[in-house]
A and B are shown apart, each in its own frame.
Chain A
Amino acid sequence: MNLRDGILAVRSSAAMSRLHHVHMVRIRGGGAFDAIDRIFTRDLYLRDGQMIHGLLLDEEARVFADCYLASDDQEFFLLGEGPDKHELLDYLRRHAAAFADVEILDAGEGHRLIGLDGPYAWELLARLVGQEVVGLPYLTFFFFEELLCCRAGKTGEFGYVIIAPEHTADDTWERLANAGGDLRVAEVTLDVLDHCALESWFFNVRAEGRRPVTPLELQLQWRISRRKEYVGSSSLQERRKSPVAQRLTCLVSDSPIQVDDVVRHGAAVVGQVVNAGFSPVRDDWVTLALLDTEYAYPGIADFRVGTEEIRARSVSPPVVNNRSLYVNPQVHSYATRHETDFPALRR
Chain B
Amino acid sequence: MDPSLRALTERRRAMLDRVRTMLIERLNLSLTSEEIDPDTPLFGSGLALDSIDAVDLVIHLETDFGIRIPTDQAGRAELRTVNSIVDLALAVPEGPPDEPA
Contacts and interface: CB of A to CB of B under 8 A. Distances in A.
Contacts of B76: 325
Q: Which range contains the number of B residues in contact with the other chain?
A: 20 to 34
Contacts, number: 78
Given A222-B45, A316-B84, A326 B39 contact: no
B94 interface: no
A341 B13 CA distance: 35
B45 to A, nearest CB: 6
Interface residues of A, number: 32
B9 A219 contact: no
A250 B35 contact: no
Given A221-B36, A222-B45, A325-B77, A300 B5 contact: yes
A265 B38 CA distance: 21
Contact of A316 (B2, B48, B73, B81): B81
B36 to A, nearest CB: 7
Contacts of B38: 219, 247, 296-297
Interface in A35-60: 53
Contacts of B44: 138-139
B21 interface: no
A294 interface: yes
Contacts of B83: 298, 316-317
B66 to A, nearest CB: 19
Interface in B74-90: 74, 76-77, 80-81, 83-84, 86-87, 90
B73 A325 contact: yes
Given A221-B40, A299-B12, A317 B46 contact: no
A216 to B, nearest CB: 8
Contacts of B48: 222
B39 A300 contact: no
Contacts of A322: 77
B2 to A, nearest CB: 7
Contacts of A318: 80-81
A296 B38 CA distance: 10
B8 A300 contact: yes
A42 to B, nearest CB: 11
Given A138-B44, A221-B40, A226 B35 contact: yes
B43 to A, nearest CB: 9
Given A316-B81, A316-B87, A325-B73, A265 B40 contact: no
28 contacts: A201-B39, A219-B38, A220-B37, A221-B35, A222-B37, A222-B40, A222-B45, A222-B47, A250-B39, A265-B1, A295-B9, A297-B9, A298-B12, A298-B83, A298-B86, A298-B87, A299-B8, A299-B90, A316-B80, A316-B81, A316-B87, A317-B83, A321-B77, A325-B76, A325-B77, A326-B73, A328-B73, A343-B77
